[in-house]
Amino acid sequence: MGMLRAGIVGATGAVGQKFVALLQGHPWFTITALVASDRSVGRTYRDAVNWIGTTGIPASVASMDVLPFRDNLPCDMIFSGLHASVADHAEPTLARAGYPVISNAKSFRMHPDVPLLIPEINPEHTSLIKNQDWQSGGYIVTNPNCSTVGLTCALKPLHRRFGLEAVQVTTMQALSGAGYPGVSSLDALANVVPFIGGEEDKLVHEPNKLLGTVAGGVLQPTSIRISAQCNRVPVLEGHLECISVKLSTSASREDVVDAFESFVSPIKGLGLPTEPDQLLHVFEDEQFPQPRRHSDLGGGMTVSIGRIRPCEVLDYKFIALSHNTVRGAAGGAILNAELLVKQGLLHARADKITPSEPLT
């Protein structure tokens, strides 16, 4: 298989930058198009971007020209780091033009025909793609909100083994989840902001879609009652969540620990480059996991679990930590694309548009 050509829309934003950083050295995908708003078009990526990463702009993209948005881009697939307000219109345009759109935006996450995808959790949901009617071979696949991912990865083994009736979750979310410039330092430093617009609603609905089943081509979400309280804390990377669950069947603490530890990802063995060795890592040290120390586990793709213990109100409580800009955004989307490749749903386009040809 030759390298697949990846385009990134919203390439200069915080999520777009993370796509650029994580795709460096990727064995299957190579960046061939960087698309951003008019302000950036015509400049090199180096000049257009306010690079916020700690590793420097990769040399391979630094001198690439930023392209305008259009429906003929020199790539086989699109990673979308667009804001929802732009993605609402842009992503259908790209799908209609025949591109697989691997999106991090919230715009189509809850659309019944659009897979909301975590490869280790619901790889079979990609079958929804064939319900999408773009007449072009294109489609949209989404990854969940950054706070949904850790929660859902933690809930899956419990739901499969015991059934889940209800979930209480309180999040302590990193500043990077708000993008750049995002939260003012005067709100962030030595403070907690106990509100994140729209976030709690996503935590109520997205896990039920992710844990649902596809039957007869139709997605049937679960109906777990979820209550979320979301907070922004002065942490750079890593969303920590305090979770309490009510199970459908009784379970000992050992059963719960075992459910986490024995969970086998259904994509194990497919050889997806971005899949971590462990989806879930269970800590026994009651001080762990901590955002600053453990967010990078598994290259930022492992979800850490800790402090598993009985709950006085529901059945069990524990904490979960996930890297919000890797597992919860760009890394998750890249893993989605890898799964689509393995499933035969993402491949080189016949009509190769090359970056060098004249473009309108």
- For binding to its own copies (CB under 8 A), which residues are involved? 52-56, 166-168, 170, 172, 175-176, 180-195, 204, 225-227, 229, 231, 233-236, 240, 242, 244, 246, 286-294, 296-297, 306-307, 311-314, 317, 319
Residue 216, by phi and psi: left (phi above 0), alpha (psi -120 to 50) or beta? left
Q: Is there a contact between 308 and 253 (Cβ–Cβ < 8 Å)? A: yes
CA distance 187 to 194: 11
**Does residue 146 have an active-site annotation?**
yes
Query: How do strand 164-173 and strand 225-232 relate by DSSP bridges?
Result: parallel
**Least distance from C-beta 140 to its own copies, angstroms?**
28
| Ordered alpha helix ranges (H), 120-180 | 146-162
- Catalytic residue, candidates 75, 146, 153, 230: 146
262: number of Cβ within 10 Å: 10
Q: Which is nearer to its own copies, 299 or 355 (CB)?
A: 299
**Least distance from C-beta 289 to its own copies, angstroms?**
7
Q: Is there a contact between 131 and 105 (Cβ–Cβ < 8 Å)? A: no
- Catalytic residue, candidates 125, 159, 239, 294: 239
Q: Is there a contact between 298 and 322 (Cβ–Cβ < 8 Å)? A: no
**Does residue 26 have an active-site annotation?**
no
Q: Which is nearer to its own copies, 307 or 349 (CB)?
A: 307
CA distance 98 to 93: 9
Q: Which is nearer to its own copies, 107 or 244 (CB)?
A: 244
Q: Which is nearer to its own copies, 3 or 192 (CB)?
A: 192
194: number of Cβ within 10 Å: 11
Q: Which is nearer to its own copies, 198 or 271 (CB)?
A: 198
**Least distance from C-beta 290 to its own copies, angstroms?**
5
CA 29 to chain centre: 17
Write the CA distances from 86 to 197, 201, 238, 360, integer angstroms: 18, 21, 26, 21
Contacts of 100 (CB under 8 A, 6+ apart): 76, 77, 78, 138, 139, 141, 337, 340, 345, 346
Residues serving a catalytic function are 146, 239
